[in-house]
Structures are given as C-alpha cells and as structure tokens.
Chain A
Amino acid sequence: MSGKVAVASWKTILATTLMTGAAVAGAQSPQSVNAPPPPAPPPVATQPPRAAADMQAVLDAMAALGAKPIEQLTPAKARLQPTAADGARTVMRRQGMSTAPDPAVTTRDVPYGSDPMQYARVYRPAAAPAGASMPVVIYYHGGGWVIADVNVYDATPRLLAKQLNAVVVSVEYRHAPEFKFPAQHDDAAAAYRWVLQNAASWGGDPAKLVLAGESAGGNLAVATAIYARDNGLAQPRHILSVYPIANSDMNLPSRRDSANAKPLNTPMLAWFGHYYSNGPADMQDPRINLVRANLRGLPPTTIVNAQIDPLRSDGETLAQAMRGAGVRVEQRTFPSVTHEFFGLGKVVRGAYDAETYAIGRVKASLTK
C-alpha cells in the first residue's frame, strides 16, 4: 500500500517537473507544521544584480541575526527566522533612530471570525477627530501564506494610515499548511465583507475603499477585488498590489535572473506552494494564477515591483493582463532593491521612492 502511494506521488512529481521544467512540489504535503520541506530543486548558477548599499545593509543585518534558508526548513522553523523588517530595525537602531511603532497611529485588534487567526489590526491616525469619515484601506500581509503575520508587516499599514489619514485594516488569516488554499482567500473575502459592515464604526467611509497587500497579500488584494465584483459587493476605488504572487509559470524571466536573490529566492516559491496548495491543480486556479483570471471591470490599480525579486515578472505580466482587460493599471519596477523593500523607507531610499509613488497614486484615486 505504501509502495503504491510512493509510486503515485513520484509520478506526480515527475509529471510536474516535465511540464514546468522546474521543481514544483506536486505531492500534497501534510498539514503538520513539522512536515519536511520539498526536495531541493537543481541549483541555478545565475547570480542576481547587486543591491543598492542601503538595501544590502538590511540584508546583511538579517543574515547577522541568523536567518537560515527558508526552503530547507519546516514551516515551524521557518516561522522563527528573522525577517527583513527585523534587519531594517537593526539598521535603524545602529543609525540612532527609534524602532518603536510610530505613535501618530493607534491600533486595535478585532476578531472577524471564530479562529484565533481570524482577526484584524485596525490602524487609526491618533489625531483623527470623533465622527471622522476617513478612507478605508484593507491590507493583506505577505509570507507566502505560510510564514509571517500582521506583526511582521506593521510598517506599510502604519505608514498608509498616517499618510492617507485613513483607517487601515490589516487582516490576519489562517495560515498553511494547517489550513491550505483557499482558506486564505476565503478569510480575505470574509474580512472584506466584515470591513464593509464595520468601517463606519471606526470612523471610516466605506465609499472610499482601497484594497492593498504585499507579496501573497498583493495577490489577495487583487483576488478579493475579483470576489467583490463577482458577488455584487461595494467595489474598492483602487488596488495597490506590491510584488504580488500572480503567475504560476515557473519559467518567467525573474524566476531565473533572481533565482538566488535574497530575501526571496525561486526555491522558496516552490517551498510555499508545497505547503499552501493541495496539489498542482491549485497552482492553475485563477485566484493564484491571476494572469489567467477574468480581470475585466477591476478598479484602477498600482503594481509595485522590485528589480531583484523572483516575483518581478508576476507583477509585470499581471499589469499586461489587466491592461488587456481594459483596467487602468500602472506598474513600476524599482531598481537595485529586493523583495520586502516596500515599507523600509526610513532606511532604504528606493523604498521611500516607491512608497511616495504608491501613496500618491492611491491619494489621487480617492480625491476624484
């Protein structure tokens, strides 16, 4: 019996490898956080372009904090690794800057479901007057749906709340492999409905709604806009999607030129897929493979990418697909920065530029 299972999963792996030319883990991994990582894909010699000195300082700090290669770890061990945000705070402390959260914004954690992970962190400008009617940003954090949480991704929602004078709702969601795809998309959609109902009680105006997210959360921002369109819900005015997971083709240019990039490399993308998917079919689901989704009628969209990032081509091809579907979309790739650069504007110049660009785009769509 176990022999038959082994042969079957071997065939799946072989078929997947032949089809994509890359080591996407085909067999379903168990739901345990101790499930071993997928086999290592064949090494790629291509080295990524050099990062700007201020970006490299963050990556060096991350390494000095002991960051191990995620793709070689179990989910439990991967969740203990230092993040780019940890690296950035280390650099800030060394430069004499405060690493404490900006007190110009207050937060409150509020549940939207019965699972302990189904809650959101509501960010409000501390100076917001009672009875204010502010824009509302629904924000989804990254981490490949396996690692990281609202705590790791504090910088962007806090910055958006301050700069847009908005209520920002940073949505936590159940993680894989304990809960596999589409649990994260289901939670993102449930949180969207919940925000529409509750925004006014936080001083938010649900008519001035923005969907935003980074990495896996950049995917959720677009996927949830599609969900809202298909379910006749109030539409966002704008989508801000920062280096989204959007294309399941493992042969995209960035998958090769940034195969060995940090803090995200191409083997990590296969690692995430191994844990969040129920099998290769999920990778073709339009909620993950957004470039093949029906994108018609989506609101104006801004896509931000980093040059040194295996997900760069995802953003570029998603912008093409959206343009083809008649969406007003603008996409920019920022040079000499890596995945996770967005939100590090206090110490990385390219991040400051990207934040200024993105916030300007969102502001313009809210004042129309």
Chain B
Amino acid sequence: MKFLTILAPAMVVAAPAAAQVMTPADYVATAGASDLYERTSSQIVLESTADPKVRSFAQMMIAQHGKSTADVKAAAARSRVKAPPPSLNPLQTELVAQLRSEAGPARDMAYVAQQKASHNQALTVQQAYAADGTAPALKAAAGAIVPVVQQHIEMLKSM
C-alpha cells in the first residue's frame, strides 16, 4: 500500500505522453507571422536587387505566402478560431532590420541566407500542425501548405 502511494506520482510522469502540438490560435499566429516576414523581406530585396533569379523568387514568395495566409485565415474561420492581423516576432523584426542595413549584392546574399533558414522553420511549423493539429480545417490547411514550402526549399538549394 505504501509502495503504491510512492508509485502513484511517478506513474503520472511516465503515463503515455500525448503530443503537445501548438494550439489552433498559436498555429494561426505563428504561420501568419512567418508569412508576413516572407512578404516583408521579399519586398525589401525587390527594392534593390539586380539579380533576376532573386527577383523572381522574391515575387513568388510575395504571391505564395499571401495565398497561404489567406488559406489559413479561411480555415481559421471554418474552425471558429480568431485570426487577428499577424505581427512579426522579435527575431523576424531583427532579420528585417538586418536586411534594411545591407545594400546591393550583400542584401541579396543576406536575403537568400535568411530565406534558407526561415523556410526550414516554416516547414517545421506546417509539418508539426499537419501531423497533430486539433482543429481539422487548420490541420488540412497546414497539410496543403507543406508541399509548397518544400518546393521553396528545393528552389533555394539552387541559389
């Protein structure tokens, strides 16, 4: 009996662990911030780049990350989750400031380096929610965004 009393709290700790996926509101805010950063950074590089490859990639990012924000917003409405206007997190704000501090080819290089890092993070967010998300419409939206981000990552490998 005494043994069981000692055992009980430990069993709580070792109980089969459920996934700790982001909440629907967290997912909407994180995905929205990620898209906003993509569009903002792409707009900055378009102001200065002379590289046609960077230009066409940045234009594509503005279009496709605009679409994913609209898709997540629509799915949020179906899941009855609030989707307030997204805002950049402190790291994304700093990355934007770094891009603004660069000019010419250095800005292009900083942009491509940032895109490679941020797309891997975007993929993490979308894959994580697509796997275990609790709001079905948002989960489906995440699943549809995953291959788009994967395509961007493959494009970036040639840049």
Q: Residues of A contacting B121 with CB < 8 Å?
A: 79-80
CB of B55 closer than 8 Å to a CB of A: no
B112 to chain A, nearest CB (A): 8
Question: Quick one: which of A27, A36, A82, A151 contacts B91, CB cutoff 8 A?
Answer: A82
* B132 CB to nearest chain A CB (Å): 5
B97 (CB) vs chain A CBs: closest residue = A93
> Does A89 lie within 8 Å of B98, measured CB to CB?
yes
Asked if B17 lies at the interface with its beta carbon under 8 angstroms from chain A, I say yes
> What is the distance, in angstroms, from B135's C-beta to the closest C-beta of chain A?
14
Check if B109 sits within 8 Å of A101, measured CB to CB.
yes
Q: Which residues of chain B are within 8 angstroms of A109 by Cβ–Cβ distance?
A: 156-158
Interface of B is mostly: helix
Stretch of A7-15, A214-222, A279-287, A291-299 on the interface side: A7-15
**B120-159 interface mask toward A, CB cutoff 8 Å, 1 = contact, 0 = none?**
1100110110011000000000000000001001101110
Q: Is the interface of A mostly helix, strand, loop or mixed?
A: loop
A8 to chain B, nearest CB (A): 9
Q: Are A36 and B157 in contact (CB under 8 A)?
A: no
What 1/0 mask marks residues of chain B from 1 to 42 whose CB sits below 8 Å from any chain A CB?
Answer: 000000100110111111111100000001000000000000
A98 beta carbon closer than 8 Å to chain B: yes
* Interchain CB contact under 8 A, B102 and A99: yes
Give A151 to B11 CA distance when docked, in angstroms.
Answer: 40
Closest-CB distance, B141 to chain A (whole angstroms): 17
| Binary contact track A76-111/B, C-beta < 8 Å → 1, others 0 | 110110100010011001000011110100000100
A360 close to B (CB within 8 Å): no
Contacting pair A13 B14 (CB below 8 A): yes
Number of A positions contacting B (CB below 8 A)? 42
B56 cross-chain contacts in A, Cβ below 8 A: none
Q: Which residues of A contact B11 (CB under 8 A)?
A: 6-7, 10
Q: Are A116 and B150 in contact (CB under 8 A)?
A: yes
Given that A33-B127, A33-B131, A76-B125 are contacting pairs, would A99 and B98 also be in contact in the complex, using a CB cutoff of 8 Å?
yes
Complex formed: what's the CA distance from A119 to B154 in Å?
11
Chain A positions 18-72 with a Cβ under 8 Å from a chain B Cβ = 27, 29-30, 32-36, 39, 64-66
Complex-state Cα separation, A333 to B101, whole angstroms: 35
- Give every chain A residue within 8 A of B157 (Cβ-Cβ): 109, 119
**Across-interface contacts of B128 in A (CB, < 8 A):** 33-34, 74, 76
With A35-B19, A90-B94 as contacts: A98 and B124 at CB distance below 8 Å: no
Please give the distance in Å from A347's CB to the nearest CB on chain B.
Answer: 14
- Interface positions of A (Cβ within 8 A of B): 2, 5-7, 9-10, 13-14, 27, 29-30, 32-36, 39, 64-66, 74, 76-77, 79-80, 82, 86, 89-90, 93, 98-101, 103, 109, 116, 119, 149, 151-152, 154
What are 23 of the A-B contact pairs (CB < 8 Å)? A6-B14, A6-B15, A10-B14, A13-B14, A34-B132, A36-B20, A74-B20, A76-B128, A79-B121, A79-B124, A80-B125, A82-B90, A98-B102, A98-B106, A99-B102, A100-B113, A103-B105, A109-B158, A116-B153, A149-B117, A151-B116, A151-B117, A152-B117
Other contacts beyond A33-B124, A74-B19, A93-B97: 19, CB < 8 A: A6-B14, A9-B14, A10-B13, A13-B13, A29-B17, A33-B128, A34-B128, A35-B17, A65-B90, A74-B21, A79-B124, A89-B98, A90-B94, A93-B94, A93-B98, A101-B110, A101-B113, A103-B105, A116-B153
> B residues within 8 Å of A by Cβ?
7, 10-11, 13-22, 30, 89-91, 94, 97-98, 101-102, 105-107, 109-110, 113, 116-117, 120-121, 124-125, 127-128, 131-132, 150, 153-154, 156-158
